[in-house]
Amino acid sequence: MTPKLDKQEMRNYLLGSLEAERRAALEESILCDPGIYEELVVVEEELIDEYITNNLSPSERQQFETHFLITAERQKKLRFGRLLRRYLDSQPVFVSPDDIPAPVVRQDKIDAPATKFFSFATGSFARGATLTVSSAVVVILVILTLVCWRANRKPDTVQENSPNPIPYTLTPASLRSEDAGTQRVKAPPKGVNVRLNLEVTNTNFRNYRAGLFREKNFVQTADELKAEPNGEQRVVPWTIAGEVLSPGDYQIKLSGVAESGPDAFVDNYSFRVTKK
Amino acid sequence: MKHDWFLSQEAFDDLLDWLDQDREQAGVKYEEIRRRLIKIFTGRACVEAEDLADETINRVTSRLSEIKKGFTGDRARYFFGVANKVYMEYMRRKQPQPPPPSTTDSYQVELEYRCLEHCIESLSEENRYLLLKYYGAEGRSKVDQRKQLAEELGVAPNALRIRAYRIRLGLQECVEKCTERSEA
């Protein structure tokens, strides 16, 4: 007889924390019930995604690293999960109008589009499902939105007379080891800027373009950033007004501006802004 | 246990016959049992999960003439009992160390990324759309977006989860093959 097993029990099983009796019942079901097996492998992938996006609790995270990742097969799955996340993060961001932060869209000037499309998301970014007639309309609306926003974005501008910006070096997703923790940036005091040094391995571009997102919501963009040496590394520095960085999870998408043709996606940089 | 026992073609054919009279179905059942045994051993944190699954199958096969006489019921369940014995023996032996976490080689990562782009492009338009929408959703809007996607496609939320998983699994296999080809 198949015992009733919920998703939480499957998570506990995969993390090695399910009590022995329930574990035996689940394992028997894995062999005899195709539905249970399929559910288990789906939960396994979801766990991997939650680990990658830092959505596991500290204890689950520890169990994931010490128990779940013990086999080479699961390590391969984690590696693939990271790769897929990197690809998805390079794609246009679909958000509902409710998710668009107030400074970005001026509702009195333009009707909110159903979908927001990051302005430099062209070329390889725009492949696939977004190539529809409706997305073209959305692009036009968003360009208009950004034009309106850029003209009114005083709160996000860098403080010219602020003290020296506080530097932080961010490692891109493609170079981060699997056991590396979250990169952290302290929320700066009022009026102080932050200089984010984005490590790059591809320095073939004359200019770079960066977009800052807070939990998938677009915050701001910068053009004409340039790579420069920073010790033995090459970095693309981006100075951001401290006021922009309230505590939360952020992501920067960096692209290289090609001599001709569309921009080329370079990498993602994830970090968490913590309280002062 | 018969330590010197090897799985011959004849013994393997007997096993398939026992699993199902239809040879094609028997092959499918064999693969499913093996895959699930691997999952069970992995769940018990066995580094050599595949070897233990094969050992379990070999033991069942080696005793098949005896099993056939008295056993009735779900055949897959029989493997579970044998797997428990194999596991206990494994625990008594010196356990191998888990493999070290794979190192990050930027060339390899870039190669895999190019393969992923290629594999995603080769998906059907519908599957690509589903993949991007399902896994692209994040944060607080994730649940709503997935619910909306399920409604749009006219499927139950759980069916959507499984469909997305299957696409992802196929994608991972495609990337692995592409990477192997590129390295060869």
User: Across A105-114, A122-131, B99-108, B145-154, which has the greatest mean pLDDT?
Assistant: B145-154
Q: Distance of alpha carbon B18 from its chain centroid, rounded?
A: 22
Does A138 have pLDDT greater than 70? no
pLDDT digits (tens, 9 = 90+) for A99-118: 444 433 333 333 333 333 33
Do B74 and A29 touch, CB atoms closer than 8 A? no
Give the pLDDT mean for A59-80.
Answer: 91
Residues making up chain B, counted from first to last: 184
Which residue type occupies A203? T
* A35 vs B174, more confident: B174
Whether residue A83 is predicted with pLDDT greater than 80 in this model: the reply is: yes
Give the angle subtended at the CA of B167 by the CAs of B165 and B168, to the nearest 5°.
65
Q: Looking at residue B33, what is its pLDDT?
A: 94
**What does pTM read for this prediction?**
0.60
Distance (Å, rounded) from C-alpha A26 to C-alpha A49? 23
Please give the residue of chain A at the shortest CA–CA distance from B134.
A88
pLDDT value for A117? 36
Percent of chain A with pLDDT over 70: 68
Which residue among A179, A201, A215 sits closest to B106, beta carbon to beta carbon? Answer: A201
In this complex, do A87 and B133 lie within 8 Å of one another by their Cβ atoms? no
Q: How far apart are CA A147 and CA A141, in angstroms?
A: 10
Residue recorded with tokens 């492949």: A127
Reported ipTM exceeds the 0.95 cut: no
Q: Mean pLDDT throughout A162-176?
A: 82
* Total beta-carbon pairs less than 8 A apart between chain A and chain B: 135
* Bridge partners, A218 (sequence order): A213
- List A198's β-bridge partners, or say none: A170, A236
Chain A CB within 8 Å of residue B100 CB = no
Name chain A contacts of B45, Cβ cutoff 8 Å.
16, 67, 70
* Interface membership of A27 toward B (CB under 8 Å): yes
Which site among B38, B104, B127, B131 would you substitute to test the A interface, given the most A Cβ atoms closer than 10 Å to its Cβ? Answer: B104
Per-residue pLDDT at A222 exceeds 50: yes
- Subunit contact B113:A87, Cβ cutoff 8 A: yes
Task: List the 151-170 stretch of B: residues with Cβ below 8 A of A.
Answer: 161-162, 165, 168
Which of A30, A128, A174 faces B109 most closely, judged by CB atoms?
A: A174
Asked if the C-beta of B119 comes within 8 angstroms of chain A's C-beta atoms, the answer is no
pLDDT tens for each residue of A247-261: 888 888 888 877 666
Considering only CB atoms, A178 lies closest to which of B76, B80, B101, namely B101
Confidence of residue B140 (pLDDT cuts 50, 70, 90): low
- Which residues are paired to B64 by β-bridges? none
Picking from B33, B45, B136, the nearest residue to A31 by CB comes out as B33
Q: Is B117 on the interface with A (CB under 8 A)?
A: yes
Per-residue confidence band for B166, with pLDDT thresholds at 50, 70 and 90:
very high
Which band of pLDDT confidence, cut at 50, 70 and 90, is reported for residue B27?
Answer: very high
Are B129 and A129 within 8 A, CB to CB? yes
Task: Kindly state the helix (H) or strand (E) to which residue A269 belongs, with its residue range.
Answer: strand A264-274
Out of B42, B49, B106, the one facing A174 most closely (by C-beta) is B106
B132: nearest CB among A23, A45, A129:
A129
Residue B100 three-state SS: coil
Cβ count within 10 A of residue B76: 19
Residue of B nearest to A53 (CA): B138
Give the closest-approach CA distance of B153 to chain A in angstroms.
14
Q: Is A28 on the interface with B (CB under 8 A)?
A: yes
pLDDT band at A262 (very low <50, low <70, confident <90, very high): low
Average pLDDT along chain B: 87
Distance CA A70, CA A86 (A): 24
Cβ pair B110, A174 in contact under 8 A: yes
Highest mean predicted confidence (pLDDT) among A271-275, B29-33, B75-79: B29-33
Contact A124 B117 (CB under 8 A): yes
State the pLDDT at residue A260: 66
Q: Among the listed ranges A108-122, B51-65, B129-143, which one has the minimum average pLDDT value? A: A108-122
pLDDT of amino acid B1: 44
Average of per-residue pLDDT across A73-84: 92
For chain A, give the mean pLDDT: 76
User: Within 10 A of B157 (CB to CB), how many other CB atoms are there?
Assistant: 12
Most trustworthy range by pLDDT among A119-123, B17-21, B171-175? B171-175
pLDDT of residue A158: 62
pLDDT of the residue at B113 = 92
Please, which pLDDT band fits residue B65 given cuts at 50, 70 and 90?
confident
